[in-house]
Structure formats: C-alpha cells, structure tokens
Structure 1
Amino acid sequence: MADFFYADRLFNGLEREEPAAGMLLVSAPGMDSRKFVRTVVLLLEHSVRSSLGVVLNRRSDVAVHNALPQWLECVAEPQALYIGGPVSPRSAVGLGVTRPGVAIEDHAVLTRLANRLVQVDLRAEPAEVAPLLTGMRLFGGYAQWEPGQLDDEIERGDWFVVPALPSDVIAPAAADLWGDVMRRQAMPLPLYATFPADLEDN
C-alpha cells in the first residue's frame, strides 16, 4: 500500500535532508508498520553503529507523578509519561527546551540536539536542571535501528527527514504534532497533513 501511494511519486521528487541527531523522522502517510503510523521521532543518534530516537507524539496514561515524581516540577503539561518506542520501555529518556541565553556547553547534564533542544541526564538533580529549562518531557523506551536499517527505510520512502523545533518536544496535549510538522514543510507535504491513520477513516 505505502509503495503504491508514496515511494516513487512523492519521495523521489523531494529535496532530502540527511538523518542526524536532532533531526525529526516523520512517518510517511500509509506506512505499513503499525508501531510507527503517524509518528514523529526525534533522532538522538545516527551513526554507522546504530540509530536511536524517541517517538514524540505517543502519550501514555501514566502520570509523571506516579512514575518519576522527582521530575514533576520540570515537566510541561500534560504531565504524563510518553511512549518513546518499543525498546526498553522501562528505561526513561528526558528531553528538554532550554531557557533563552542558557549556554548548553556549560552544563554537563545537558546534551545539545538542535537549537535549544537538549537531552537531559536523568541522573542529575532535578533542582539543578529546573532553572535551565522552559519545559521537559519524559519518555519510556526508545526506537532503535540496526546499522544501515534506517537509511534503507528512508530510501524506501518510509520516513521524511526534517528539522526539529524546540516546541515539538513540549507540544500541548491537543496538538496534532504529525500534522503540524507536515504542514510546515515544503510542498507537497502539507497536502498530506490530514491523511488519516487508517484509510478506512477517510
């Protein structure tokens, strides 16, 4: 199904970005993998060894207060744990947006991903991190690809690679992040922003 709609006609006509830490992977309309339908993944690492990322738009029913209460004051609304991916779902990943003027390189507890977007070392004291951030999300688990796997999926047309904005990580509960990211890209991607997760819903 996905090949018929998208791979040749759409992807080959687009100017492509290279995957790298701090870039977004936006799942293609009609992607076959049910795990990643309408997902937006922030890449944390992309190398010859492996690729790691976190799904930004899958909120769980678990409250941060119940899972990692020490971080509650840092976490943006909605204060829920998000499902970062199918790998190691009991491990936690912290992503944050720094306050204007914060020198990320001066703080060992922060790793720059893009602009003011950082990965937070969850071994740090929340009281040390809170003054540095305007908001934060906590994710349970992550997505991982074997060497060469992600490049093959991108070439096949499963993912768009696009720049991330800090606001993508702390988008409000009502936001349709997948649609919003698609709408801000060059044509023809905005035309697909309302594409349903299931074609039968159309």
Structure 2
Amino acid sequence: MRPGTLLISQPFLNDPNFERSVVLLCRDEPDDGTFGLVLNRATTLTLGDVLDLPPRMAAAAVLPLFVGGPVEPNTLHWLHRRPDLLGATDLGQEVYWGGDFEVLLGFLSTGAVAAADVRLFAGYSGWSAGQLAGEMQGQSWIRHPASAGKVFTLASDAFWRDILREKGGRFKVLANYPVDPRLN
C-alpha cells in the first residue's frame, strides 16, 4: 500500500490497540513490513510533559501527544506540513512524516510552523512483512487511499466515524455500529 493511505479499523475488530482507530501508513516495504501512526488516540500528555524543553520552546511544549500505536511507546514520531524539513518523508497532500526534530522545534518557537500543523505521537503501529496483507484479506481494515490530508482536518475524537461517513455507501452504516452490539 502507498504511504498516505488511511486504514480504518472494522467496527468489530477485536484488538483494543486498534478498536475504532484510523492509521496513517507512513511506510510499506515488502521485505521490511509496514509502519503507521494511529491518528485518533489522544492522551492527556503534552510534549512538555515528556521532554525537558527550554522556555523559548513554549509553543512546542504545549503540543498534545497522541498514541501512535502499541510498538515502542517510548519513541516520538511526528507529522507536519513543512516540505523543507530535512529528512522528512512526503506522504502526499502536503503531509510529511519525520525529519529533523530540532529544526521543527525551532520552526515552532519562531512561528514558522503553526501548532495546528504538527501532530506528535508516542509509539507507532507496525506489521511484519506480509502481516498487514493478511489482515487486509481477513477484512480487519478498510482502506482509504490518498487521504493523508485528513490528518489536520478532522477532530481526533470523531475521526473514525467521520471518515467512514465520508466514504459513504455501506461504510456510512458502519459509522453507527455500536461499540458493543450485545447492549442494543
């Protein structure tokens, strides 16, 4: 699958790490596996809670952290809208992954990057070679190609439901699927 694709979990996916989640694929290599970031798992933490930042970095310190996935939760990953950030990977639709974090912090402190144009993630979602293809065949995920731009346009708490509604058709019905259908 191409970077910039969104993976939307099926409403009946029985994995608490990915229940009602939307994952942005950042890398998919046949031999190495797949790397992605869950977009709609907010935390109560900010960057300043996990990094000791100088006072001049106050704009960066208040950025919220999201859970990018269950793999290596002590690592930090970022999405942004700066095409000129050295080392960043273009995911399409003016969304970039990674790059020089110190430069990004500098951009934030000077206002060259707005806080609304950066998302920070603790951990990531990862699949070994062939694993995600098997999950796709098992219909665990709904693919939404070329949708990286949604990262900065949809509210994280309603992201899963909103993206399914946007897809329309049978997916619109899934958006209203109850968390526990036994309680209906």
TM over 0.5: yes
Q: Counterpart in 1 of 2:45?
A: 62
Deviations 1:42-63 (A, max 9, x none): 1111111210111111111222
Q: Counterpart in 1 of 2:124?
A: 142
% identical equivalent positions: 26
CA distance in 2, matches of 1:138, 1:83: 9
> Aligned pair in 2 of structure 1 residues 107, 123: CA closer, same or farther (>3 Å)?
closer
Q: Which of the residues 79, 88, 95 maps onto 1:117?
A: 95
> Aligned pair in 2 of structure 1 residues 32, 86: CA closer, same or farther (>3 Å)?
same
**1:190 has 2:168 as partner:** no
TM score, norm. by length of structure 2: 0.83
**1:82 has 2:63 as partner:** no
One-letter code aligned to 2:40 = N
Task: Please say if residues 6 and 148 of structure 2, whose CA atoms lie closer than 8 Å, have aligned partners that are also in contact.
Answer: no
Task: Please say if residues 44 and 64 of structure 2, whose CA atoms lie closer than 8 Å, have aligned partners that are also in contact.
Answer: yes
Deviations 1:153-177 (A, max 9, x none): 001100011032424246435x410
Q: Counterpart in 1 of 2:23?
A: 41
CA distance in 1, matches of 2:64, 2:97: 18
What value does the CA root-mean-square deviation take over the aligned residues?
Answer: 2.4
One-letter code aligned to 1:146 = S
Task: Please say if residues 95 and 169 of structure 1, whose CA atoms lie closer than 8 Å, have aligned partners that are also in contact.
Answer: no
Instruction: Structure 1 unaligned segments of length 5 or more: list them.
Output: 1-18, 99-103
> Aligned pair in 2 of structure 1 residues 199, 169: CA closer, same or farther (>3 Å)?
farther
Q: Counterpart in 2 of 1:73?
A: 59
TM score, norm. by length of structure 1: 0.76
> Aligned pair in 2 of structure 1 residues 117, 110: CA closer, same or farther (>3 Å)?
same
